[in-house]
Amino acid sequence: MLPVTTGISPPRRARVGSTSNLTRRLGRQAGTPAAIVLAALILIGGISFLLHNRISDEEEGHGLHVVSSKRRSLADDSGGSGSGVAERIQLLAEGAELENDRMAQLEDEQQQEDSDSELSGTLFGAKEGVKLANGQQVAAMAAKTGARNAANSRTRSTQFQKASPSRFAKKLEETRHRVGLQAASRQRYSAIVSSFPSQPEPAVEELSEAEVARRREAIKAAMLHSWRGYEKYAWGQDELCPVSQQGKNSFGGLGATMIDALDTLHMMGFHEEYGRAAEWVRSEMPLNASFDASVFETIIRVVGGMLAAHDMTGDKVMLERAQQVADRILPAYNTTTKIPLNIINLATQQAKNPTWNQRASTLAEFGTHQVEFWRLSQSTGNDTYAELAEGTIRHLHKGWPQQGVMPLFISPTTGNFTARRVSFGALGDSYYEYLLKMWLIKGRQDEMYRSMWERAMDEMINKLVFTSREGLTYVAEFDRSIIKHKFDHLVCFVPGMLALGAHSGAVQGAKAERYMQLAADLTHTCWQMYHRMPSGLSPEYVTFSAQGMKVGAAYNLLRPEALEAMWYMWRLTHDWKYRAWGWQVFQAFEAHCKVEAGYSGIKDVRAATPVPDDTQQSFFLAETLKYLFLLFSDDSAFDMDEWVLNTEAHPLRTTQPKQEEQQHERQQQERKRWWWPPSRSKSGGGLISGSDGSGSIAR
Ligand code: DMJ
């Protein structure tokens, strides 16, 4: 078990089970009916406190910090676990304000002592039963709706046939053809699926150069396959639907896949394909589509993709287009606090926030503009972009100087946090990534970013990192005062980030060693999320309980984070197991996701023959295949000092620390690099297209 984790094993169970346990335990220990009645009253009080305790914007700001210190002081007051229950009851009765947190504290203690409780199993079973019943109800409703829809579509089709028999016949033929293709490809791939071995441990061995090259070529072929499908069926649109063989616009109609793929095509040496895509950007990219686009997605995929293409090739048109798109996004910053809104219509430039989170701005969304806007300002000489993006981080730094981990939602009107939820997965993730990457891209000199990142990592480690009974380390979530033992695949970016921070000197010495160890442990968990599934593909998230790891949401979107972690870990340790794991993941994509026109996400990773979701996410080309390619390339394919990958894996050029400082820093690095072999990369080597050296050096 990690010395840096909170080391609670098994993980704490969800509150629903433990509250009843608490009542039982209080009754059992105090041994009197009066104590049972009092405990029940307190429980009711606690529940009504929970129900009525709505925290306002203004009070929420320091939420996490305050809660943690309250919980710590309770632990101190109560004299540790095992102190008299009567005193604790007294304590509970006295402090109405702290009641909720004290209840939680007692529950936590009780859970640890009573980890094998049958009651929890029963409650768990009951919950599952309710879910099942709900599921059956939903299925019955769906069947009813399905029958109604089928009847409607039969009527429509008869009307269509009567009105226009020849068009109907043509349409029928097209549909038959498409369905036939789909069935053929499903059959073809399910054949591979059924012969897919049931997850053997991959052999960890040093591969010959020829074998590494063979694997690299297979990954390049996968890139070409996904690109060709996109070119053929979805040209100019955001994403390919590889099963129905058409395109769709999900990100503002700016050709997200086209732009996301640019630098991967270039790195892999597919210059003709790159050329066609670049020409589309030059002469056809529409800037005026009236579509509510995500500010975050547009920045990381479109602006980031074009900035990377500019940095790699020097093509000025890429920079111009990146600036044009960024200019259309800037009105999102027109708020009283200058915290940007999440959504913008690129044609009307009207910005707004969604209603589902009370019109708050989201941490990962406003906290993931900085790297692109910094690079854009540097490349254009216009400081506006960098200043605006940095302003939001300064706001957090000034308002919460002692806090590392930040809640997910902030009001763009008051500048205060609006909820106590914390996550390193969805809605929070890349805010933390960009604290580190801003420090890197600015030449490792801006202490604000580095210290905010270090504080965040330390708080994450102290409060949210757990190890399950089966020995899997994970990062949990936090909601109000409850720890949720849920681990998104998205969180698998954390190990890569920790390793990069330790490698680049953002933290030093023993702390760097701890970060590196945690990175290794988390990468192992991410690998297990693939390895334990019948399909060999990870679900979207897992949960941890006393029973161990369990699938949360079963779908797989072809996400890159686990491969990102494997690449960073390979690159910084040269441990062959990371290449073995990555190759196994790639083979699972080949077996289950490859269809005639590209690669599709799947709906359930537990199925032996998974059903495709008919979407080839643009990040599959930008990130997933790029990390795989880098995993099987020489270190010289990517110089980690000169380039930083944005959150969509688009390489942007860093500002180099001054020569002497760099020299000094390198010497320091060499001295403390005792847990991994010295980097094999040649200093000064640029980002080259094709690790076989076939491409030109992009500088
Ligand atoms: C990508 O668009 C980016 O990596 C983003 O930061 C989060 N997730 C997706 C891929 O999973």
Query: For all residues of the chain together, what is the average pLDDT?
Result: 78
pLDDT tens by residue, 480-502: 889 999 999 999 999 999 999 99
Query: What pLDDT does residue 59 have?
Result: 29
Cα distance between residue 46 and residue 187, in whole Å: 56
Q: Are 372 and 300 in contact (CB under 8 A)?
A: yes
Strand, helix or coil at 362? Answer: strand
Is residue 161 very low, low, confident or very high in pLDDT (cuts 50, 70, 90)?
A: confident
Q: Which atom of ligand 1 lies at the shortest distance from residue 297's CA?
A: 2
Q: Which atom of ligand 1 lies at the shortest distance from residue 490's CA?
A: 11
Q: Is the CB of 430 under 6 A from ligand 1?
A: yes
Residue nearest to atom 3 of ligand 1 (CA): 648
Q: Residue 342 belongs to what domain range?
A: 209-232+239-688
Domain count, the chain: 1
Average pLDDT in the 642-649 region? Answer: 98
Residue nearest to atom 8 of ligand 1 (CA): 490
DSSP line for 92-152 = HHH-TTTHHHHHHHHHHHHHHHTTT-HHHHHHHHHHHHHHHHHHHHHHHHHHHHHHHHHHH
Residue 227 domain-assigned (yes or no): yes
Q: Is the CB of 556 under 6 A from ligand 1?
A: no
Query: What pLDDT does residue 375 have?
Result: 98
End-to-end, the C-alpha distance of the chain in Å comes to: 44
Query: What pLDDT does residue 690 have?
Result: 31
Q: Is the CB of 626 under 6 A from ligand 1?
A: no
Strand, helix or coil at 538? Answer: coil
Residue 108 domain-assigned (yes or no): no
The pLDDT of residue 39 is above 90: no
Q: Are 393 and 431 in contact (CB under 8 A)?
A: no
Average pLDDT in the 656-673 region? Answer: 54
The pLDDT of residue 646 is above 90: yes
Annotated catalytic sites, by residue? 297, 429, 540, 561
Place of tokens 């304000």: 97
Q: How far is the CA of 440 from the centre of ligand 1 (A)?
A: 20
Q: How far is the CA of 362 from the centre of ligand 1 (A)?
A: 15
Residue 332 domain-assigned (yes or no): yes
E strands along 335-432, which residues?
343-345, 351-352, 361-362, 409-410
Q: Which atom of ligand 1 lies at the shortest distance from residue 429's CA?
A: 6
**Residues in contact with 220: Cβ distance below 8 Å, sequence separation at least 6, in sequence order:** 268, 269, 270, 629
Query: What pLDDT does residue 71 have?
Result: 28
Strand, helix or coil at 61? Answer: coil
DSSP code for 54: P
- Strand (E) or helix (H) holding 667: helix 659-672
Q: Is the CB of 540 under 6 A from ligand 1?
A: no
Mutate to test the pocket of ligand 1, among 623, 624, 645, 650 (most ligand atoms within 8 A of CB): 623
Cα distance between residue 434 and residue 484, in whole Å: 24
- Chain mean position to CA 67: 26
Average pLDDT in the 445-472 region? Answer: 97
Q: Are 243 and 182 in contact (CB under 8 A)?
A: yes
Query: What pLDDT does residue 186 have?
Result: 46
Query: What pLDDT does residue 163 have?
Result: 84
Cα distance between residue 78 and residue 76, in whole Å: 6
Q: How far is the CA of 693 from the centre of ligand 1 (A)?
A: 29
Place of tokens 């069926």: 233
Q: How far is CA 633 from CA 210, 243, 558, 630, 694, in A?
A: 12, 31, 21, 5, 13
Residue 136 domain-assigned (yes or no): no
Q: Are 103 and 25 in contact (CB under 8 A)?
A: no
Query: What pLDDT does residue 170 have?
Result: 76
DSSP code for 603: S
Residue 283 domain-assigned (yes or no): yes
The pLDDT of residue 40 is above 60: no
Q: Are 290 and 278 in contact (CB under 8 A)?
A: no
pLDDT tens by residue, 407-456: 999 999 999 999 989 999 999 999 999 999 999 999 999 999 999 999 99
Average pLDDT in the 282-289 region? Answer: 92
- Chain mean position to CA 73: 33
Which CATH number does the domain housing residue 657 bear? 1.50.10.10
**Residues in contact with 413: Cβ distance below 8 Å, sequence separation at least 6, in sequence order:** 335, 336, 337
Average pLDDT in the 552-570 region? Answer: 98
Is residue 36 very low, low, confident or very high in pLDDT (cuts 50, 70, 90)?
A: very low
Cα distance between residue 493 and residue 364, in whole Å: 13
pLDDT tens by residue, 205-243: 999 999 999 999 999 999 999 999 999 999 999 999 999
Q: How far is the CA of 300 from the centre of ligand 1 (A)?
A: 9
Residue 186 domain-assigned (yes or no): no
- Within 13 A of 10's CA, how many CA atoms are on the CB side? 18
pLDDT tens by residue, 520-533: 999 999 999 999 99
Q: Which atom of ligand 1 lies at the shortest distance from residue 433's CA?
A: 6
What string of H, E and C letters represents the secondary structure of 625-641?
Answer: HHHHHHHCCCHHHCCCC
Residue 616 domain-assigned (yes or no): yes
CA angle at 580 for the pair 574 and 582, rounded to the nearest 5°: 95
Query: What pLDDT does residue 661 have?
Result: 59
Cα distance between residue 236 and residue 234, in whole Å: 6
Is residue 125 very low, low, confident or very high in pLDDT (cuts 50, 70, 90)?
A: very low
pLDDT tens by residue, 62-96: 333 322 322 222 222 222 232 333 333 333 333 32
pLDDT tens by residue, 306-352: 999 999 999 999 999 999 999 999 999 999 999 999 999 999 999 99
pLDDT tens by residue, 295-309: 999 999 999 999 999
Residue 622 domain-assigned (yes or no): yes
Q: How far is the CA of 235 from the centre of ligand 1 (A)?
A: 22
> Where does residue 149 rank: exposed (0-12), middle (13-18), buried (19+ CB within 10 A)?
exposed
